[in-house]
Amino acid sequence: MNAKRQERDLLAGVRVVDFTQFEAGTSCTEVLAWLGAEVVKIENPRTGDPGRRLPRGRAPGEPWPDPYYFHMFNANKKSVTLDLKTPRGLELAKELLQKADVTAENLAPGTIERLGLGYDVVQSLNPGIIYCQIKGFGEGSPYEKGLAFDMIAQACGGPISVTGEPGRPPAKPGPSFGDTGTGMLMASTILAALLQRRLTGKGCRLQLAMQDAMLHYMRTCFATQARTGKPAPRRGAKSVAGNNVPSGLYPCKPGGSNDYVYITTSRANPEHWRRLLKLIGREELLGDPRYDSHEARLGHEKEVDAIVSDWTRRHTKEEAMRLVSGVGVPAGAVFDTMELMNDESFETRGILQVMQHPETGPFKMPSWPVRIDGAPPSLKPSPMLGEHNAEVLRDWLQLPASAIDALHDDGVM
């Protein structure tokens, strides 16, 4: 690791005791890990984070290594196994919490308290700790005991109501915005709390519900409702606000299921429409009153879309993107996961990096996409279950190797 790399470990020295599982919690603590914190997953010695047990795509009977899903949300972390239902396991967890700056969990409602690691207990052990909880629904909500996964958050928090085609049933946004979208809000708040703690020495309790987090991403939809007086609608490929024409997905050759280009013209810049007309060879429409203002085009959306589609159908999505973008009009091809994975630019720029995992082998995946002084942080493998038992108990608690062996023999680890 060279000096430049080390500078990117912005959170070097920050210790996190991590009880998170699946994605809403793990995506949050993984941000801290990517940015250089020492994040220690505390896992059940038998099964670990249930995210390790999701389908891996192997034939039945073959060994079941950790799935890609697990690697995605646990890169750069460490793993310590502790049976929290044993007195010694619980005691060790408490000793680790006394050494930690941050702890986080997204277990089912009531679980962390039943384990004996609720906020009051941990705060009394370590008044400086940032104690973080992610749940499906907020404390005091009528649904506060309800379980949630990504899709439940996207249903109850609004995203599903505004996704899909008009007049048809709603669709779920494909990405796991309900999970990772929640984790990101908690990550920022943890870091702000750490900044305050460096001044005051005091910790705090942070709580976030996945349903509540979704409202944060729905703000343009709430603005549309405030403007129109009606619930924000589903508009297929078009934006919920519906202010701009042309704006939408336009079909490209050769007509495959993702052969579309998104083109949008901004109301804030009337030049977009004129540039587009020139590019597509329809200068005769410059100044045509049917199309010359945003208001006029709003009343002729179908005709405008047909004018644009006539041109896009003669180009591939990549050509259309390059040409439209080249004249200063916002445009983007619809890329699928395979096209993205095969685009070398992402690997060259460090946005996709290769995880060298002892069981999975080399595996290319998204890293933290923010460049810090020119490059994103380096990707390290997700931990094997219990991989860091000896290292963490030695470094944090000064336990000798013999004591760690005994813990394994006793089934505590």
Indicate which single residue of 113, 223, 278, 286 sits in contact with a second copy (rule: CB under 8 A).
Answer: 223
Give residue 189's Cα distance to chain centre.
15
The token duo for 314 is: 């003669």
Smallest separation (angstroms) from a second copy to the CB of 258 = 5
Cβ distance to a second copy smaller for residue 7 or 405:
7
Alpha-carbon distance 93 to 98, whole Å?
A: 9
Indicate which single residue of 39, 40, 320, 333 sits in contact with a second copy (rule: CB under 8 A).
Answer: 333
Q: Which residues between 241 and 300 bind a second copy (CB under 8 A)?
A: 241, 243, 247, 249, 251, 257-258, 260-262, 264, 266-268
Residues marked active site are found at: 179
- Write down the residue that tokens 């685009």 correspond to: 343
Cβ distance to a second copy smaller for residue 174 or 289:
174
Alpha-carbon distance 330 to 183, whole Å?
A: 30
Cβ distance to a second copy smaller for residue 118 or 332:
332
- Write down the residue that tokens 């048809």 correspond to: 168
Is residue 214 involved in binding a second copy (CB under 8 A)? Answer: yes
Alpha-carbon distance 238 to 305, whole Å?
A: 11
Q: Which residues between 109 and 128 bind a second copy (CB under 8 A)?
A: none
Count other C-beta atoms under 10 Å from residue 380's C-beta: 17
Q: Which residues between 369 and 408 bind a second copy (CB under 8 A)?
A: 369-374
Smallest separation (angstroms) from a second copy to the CB of 50 = 4
Q: Which residues between 24 and 83 bind a second copy (CB under 8 A)?
A: 31, 35-36, 50, 53-57, 67-69, 71-73
- Round the CA-based radius of gyration of the chain to a whole number and report it: 25
Contact at 8 Å (CB) between 409 and 85?
Answer: no
Is residue 307 involved in binding a second copy (CB under 8 A)? Answer: no
Alpha-carbon distance 17 to 39, whole Å?
A: 6
Q: Which residues between 132 and 161 bind a second copy (CB under 8 A)?
A: 136, 138-143, 145-161
Contact at 8 Å (CB) between 158 and 234?
Answer: no
Cβ distance to a second copy smaller for residue 100 or 407:
100
Alpha-carbon distance 306 to 314, whole Å?
A: 13
Smallest separation (angstroms) from a second copy to the CB of 124 = 15
